[in-house]
Amino acid sequence: MLERMNRHKVKKGHAQKMLLKDWVTNTQKMDIYISSYGAYLHVSDEMFAIKVTIDGASKHQKVAVHKVRSIIFTTHGAVSTEAIRLALKNNIDILFLESNGQPIGRFWHSKLGSTTKIRKEQLAASLNEKGLFYTKQWLGRKLENQLVFIKDLKKHRSEKHGAYLEEKLSQISALKASILGCEASTVSGIADSLRGWEGTSGRLYFQVLSHILPKTYQFSGRSSRPAKDSFNAFLNYAYGILYSKVEKALIIGGIDPYVGFMHRDDYNQKSMVFDFIEAYRIYAERVVFRLFSAKKVNKSHTNEITNGYSLNKEGKILLVEAFMKYVDEDKIKYRNRHQTRLNAMQQDAHVFANTLIGKEIKNNLKDETIII
């Protein structure tokens, strides 16, 4: 019927039973994932109400508005104008995902939420050396996160894979140095070089992940639209969830998601989302790798489609539960605070916005380079 993800753990052994309709509720805000075909979101007694038909029988569930942070449709359904109005009035976004996890669109209030000076400075930065500074920092963090992950994998696999992993670490480290050491007056002047270094690093990195996985799960590089294997199907869906979280963080921070620095300004492309997400892709990669390395994924979690694979309902439930626990429940120490990864990302968005308009922030991007 629906899955409700919050920041608190459920009792061990109960999670699978609770996923569809009985996820533990509390005062913390939650994301509601509606994954049943034909589900109807409406309002009843000033609460969100979800109606689904299962085996010919109608089932209903209500959720108090103050407990909801966002509502995500992962399949075909319907929503009433009353539910949209209630969400907008309470700063709750309603998001629609494609079958591969990519966000199609969202209902979001029309308020800017910050000063327009941020967006003016963002546009100016896209045309000068500031844009290059941020781009180098984000890509540097991306590659550093890859290096840290590979080093973590090496700790328990030195005997079997030590030499192989050391070679990849050396190659990715050199690419990171090239990115951080390049100089130009604008991003556009060296964009092709940046994309080349980043792309090469990505190929090496995913070669490592595939090499380490059990043979059943190994894959031949990245693939999307469609995914050529189960691993990429899971990773594409995880990236899709992450795209929506990054876009929301940028909007709240006052950043225009469409004005990017490195990614091309194609028609209707959210270039800044693609730029800013680079430092956080590790969230999706670690979660998906853990699911596969722990052999929690099997054939029942994906469907074969034309020329590829896609996640089915069971696969989405498995991934969403693991992903939301990792980013919105588990805590890390970041900027001298113990906080969730989503909070850390939101804080980074605010720091980015404030530095654009000249505010000095302690522990800025120069000081902290890893978020894992």
- Tell me what the pLDDT averaged over the chain comes to: 87
Q: Are residues 236 and 333 in the same domain?
A: yes
Express each pLDDT in 189-242 by its tens digit: 999 999 999 999 999 999 999 999 999 999 999 999 899 999 999 999 999 999
pLDDT band for position 266 (cuts 50, 70, 90): low
Global pTM reads 0.81
The reply to whether omega before 226 is within 30° of 0 (cis) is: yes
In a domain, 148, yes or no: yes
In a domain, 258, yes or no: yes
In a domain, 111, yes or no: no
- Amino acid at the residue 325: K
In a domain, 107, yes or no: no
Express each pLDDT in 292-330 by its tens digit: 999 999 999 999 999 999 999 999 999 999 999 999 999
Q: Are residues 319 and 202 in the same domain?
A: yes
Q: Are residues 160 and 290 in the same domain?
A: yes
Backbone angles phi, psi at 56, to 5 degrees: 80, -5
Please identify, among 97, 128, 143, the residue that sits at the C-terminal boundary of a domain: 97
The DSSP result for 39-77, as a single string, is EEEEEETTEEEEEEEETTEEEEEEE-GGGEEEEEE-SSE
In a domain, 202, yes or no: yes
* Domain of 145, in residue numbers: 116-356
CATH number for position 333 = 1.20.120.920
Backbone angles phi, psi at 117, to 5 degrees: -60, -35
Q: Are residues 78 and 127 in the same domain?
A: no
Q: Are residues 32 and 146 in the same domain?
A: no
Q: Are residues 214 and 352 in the same domain?
A: yes
CATH number for position 19 = 3.100.10.20
Q: Are residues 194 and 328 in the same domain?
A: yes
In a domain, 110, yes or no: no
Q: Are residues 289 and 166 in the same domain?
A: yes
Please identify, among 97, 126, 148, the residue that sits at the C-terminal boundary of a domain: 97
How much of the chain exceeds pLDDT 90, in percent?
67
The DSSP result for 163-200, as a single string, is HHHHHHHHHHHHHHHHHHH---SSGGGTHHHHHHHHHH
Q: Are residues 91 and 207 in the same domain?
A: no
Contacts 24+ apart (CB under 8 A), 85-91: 86/43, 86/46, 86/48, 87/48, 90/65, 90/66
Q: Are residues 199 and 280 in the same domain?
A: yes
In a domain, 109, yes or no: no
The pLDDT of residue 258 is 92
Number of folded domains in the chain? 2
The pLDDT of residue 113 is 59
Q: Are residues 9 and 137 in the same domain?
A: no
In a domain, 361, yes or no: no
**3-class state of residue 34 by DSSP:** strand
Q: Are residues 11 and 124 in the same domain?
A: no
Express each pLDDT in 23-81 by its tens digit: 333 336 888 888 888 899 999 999 999 998 888 888 889 999 999 988 999 888 899 99
DSSP state of 258: T
The β-bridge partners of 63 are 48
The β-bridge partners of 41 are 50, 79
Rounded to whole angstroms, the Cα distance separating 24 from 15 reads 9
